[in-house]
Each structure stands twice: as structure tokens, then as C-alpha cells.
Amino acid sequence: MLQPTAREIGEKRSESRGRSWSGGPGPGGPRPRPMFLNVVVLGGGSFGTAMAAHIASRKAQMEVHMLVRDPVVCRSINDNHCNHKYFPDHELPKNVVATTDAQTALLKADYCLHAVPVQFSSAFLEGIASYVDPALPFISLSKGLELNTLRMMSQIIPRALRNPRQPFIALSGPSFALELMNKLPTAMVVATKDKKLANAAQQLLASSYLRINTSSDVTGVEIAGALKNVLAIAAGIVDGMHLGNNSMAALVAQGCSEIRWLATKMGAKPTTITGLSGTGDIMLTCFVNLSRNRTVGVRLGSGEKLEDILGSMNQVAEGVSTAGAVIALAQKYNVKMPVLTAVARIIDNELTPKKAVYELMNLPQVEEV
């Protein structure tokens, strides 16, 4: 006999779930006192696994369910408390449980962390929409833009779930999954227009080694998180071509300006682009070898073909797909973005890295803005 879906019982549960993060009566209400009992993580990749381990390690009584696609990974997590594919040397907390069944994972969820790559998110979410409570807050870990639609995750999630009021939070900032697994000091940002929800997400995620700031600038946090991956590919290309530190600094500075120009045209706050989710994430992704997007760029700059690079990787480099959206965004908002659009042209085989450098160095001399 089929159990009722979360949508069918949503009305009965949404009120009690709402109390888990909403303030009390009156202006402002008391400081929220969340009751975090059940958290579901969608996706079994490196960052989803790291966040599942982080949340589960904070409270032993909390249940963290990972919805994964690969039955081998599912068995590894449940039988050996280890995601052998991404973290073979790390033991997961006992209260992290994996499943391949969406209904099982979502039925009692109080929070949902979305860690599915952006380009696959719409189809994935449409497939599980009937099990999602309309009041279930989604915390998106995915950074990027949907290629054909230019949508951000704040637009993809409610559209795919057919619920324009689905509570949404963007989580972003300079953070490698491996360092989070190793409990090294990290700082990130949660962005949502609902201040009480932001405070609740902050309490859910913050720990002695993970600092969580809050922001109401969802657009700024999302667009910075998406475009920094494209800039990281450009930085990697410079490194792969051995062009030196001067050119690296100049390119990243120009890329930061391009991201700021576009983001502010889209309604973002300039201060967001200079904060953790902007400059902070850009520095980490552009300059550190753990970055998948930087690695793609290094190999492109060294002369490898894109298809060979992607075929050898076991994780998604979101910047490759996001680059395809950059040219359309630049045209839509009438913003000149020579560095980021050059990456898109290299990926589309319209331009070689060497030719791209020549074109960039021969742009008209301009006043710095």
C-alpha cells in the first residue's frame, strides 16, 4: 500500500515545521529556537557528503538522510559509514543514512540541502516534486546557471517543484569539501529574503569551525558563486600557459570587475561581490589547486582537449556549463565581459587560449573603473 506523499500531508506538517524556524508573536519575536530533527541532502557528491557529515556531527540525535543515485555509494555509506568514491579515508557519523528512494528520504525532512549539479537539477527536482512538502526549506549548495534558460537555483527550485513559495536559501562562500570534512576553519554565507529563515539556517549550519554569515542579497550571492567558476577556468588557463604572476593578477582583477558589473546590473549589491561569496570564493577557486574549475583551465592552457579533460574527471566542473550562459547574459544586460566571454569561446572551440590572450592584450587602452 502506497504511503501518502509529503505534498498530501503538507498542510498538517507545515505548521509544525514553520515553528521550527519562525520567531514568536510580535515584531521580531524571540530568537528562533530550531528543532533540527531530520535533514535530507540531495546528492552524494563531495560537497553534499561533507555537509551531511558536518550537520550530523553537531547533534547525535539528528537524522541526516542522503538521497543518492548510485546503489554502490548507498551501500558504502550504510554498511561502512564511508563515501568510498569521494572520501575513502573519512568515516561518516553513524547518524548519516543513505537511500536511493526519494519518498523515504523526504517524508520527514525538516530541511533539505540541494547538492545536485545545476544542469541536472530541473529534471531531478521534477522527478521528486510529489514528495516535497510545500513548506520544506531548500538550502542550495549548487553554484551555476542553467545553460538554456540562464536561471539561477533560486528560480530553478520553485519552478521545478511547481511551488513559487518554496522556502529558499543559497549557501555559498570559499569552501572546499575536503577541508570541511577535516573540520578546518571555514566561513560561508546563507542568503534568503526571509530573515527568520536566515537565522534558523545559520543556527543549523554554524559550528566551532564553520562560521555562517547571513545576507538578503540572493542574486548577488548566486551570481558571484556561478561566475567565479568561469573566472577560475581563465585563471587555470593562465597557469597552464605559464604566463606568470603579473598576468594572473591582472586577469583575476579584470574578472572580478566583470562579475561586479554584471551582478549590479542584475540588482545585486556591490558589497556582496566584495564579500565571502564574491571575492572570498574567487580567491579560493582561482588560486588553489583543489579547484576543479581551475584544474580544467590548467589543462586547457596546457593544450589538452576539453572532451578528454571532462572524460577523466569524476566530479562536475560547473564553470564549463556556466560559461555558455555568460555571453547571453552579457548581451542581455549590455555588459562588456572580455575575460569571461573569452572562456566561453575557448570552451566552444571558437578561440584558442593563445589567441584569447592576444585579443585581451590588444583591447583598447581604457580608464580603470
What is the C-alpha separation between 243 and 336, in angstroms, rounded? 24
Residue 364: DSSP 8-state: P
In the residue annotation, 228 being an active-site residue is answered as: yes
Q: 17, 133 in Cβ contact below 8 A?
A: yes
Q: Provide the grid cell at 109.
A: 525532512
What sign has the CA pseudo-torsion 78, 84, 86, 89? positive
| CA angle (256 as vertex; 189, 350 as ends), nearest 5 | 120
What is the C-alpha separation between 82 and 363, in angstroms, rounded? 51
What is the C-alpha separation between 95 and 130, in angstroms, rounded? 26
For residue 211, give the H/E element and its range.
strand 210-215
Quote the crossing angle between the two packed helices 218-240 and 153-160, to the nearest 10°: 120
Q: Write the single-letter amino acid at 174.
A: P
Q: Which of 12, 183, 193, 228 is catalytic?
A: 228
Q: 22, 47 in Cβ contact below 8 A?
A: no
Q: 132, 161 in Cβ contact below 8 A?
A: yes
Residues designated catalytic: 228
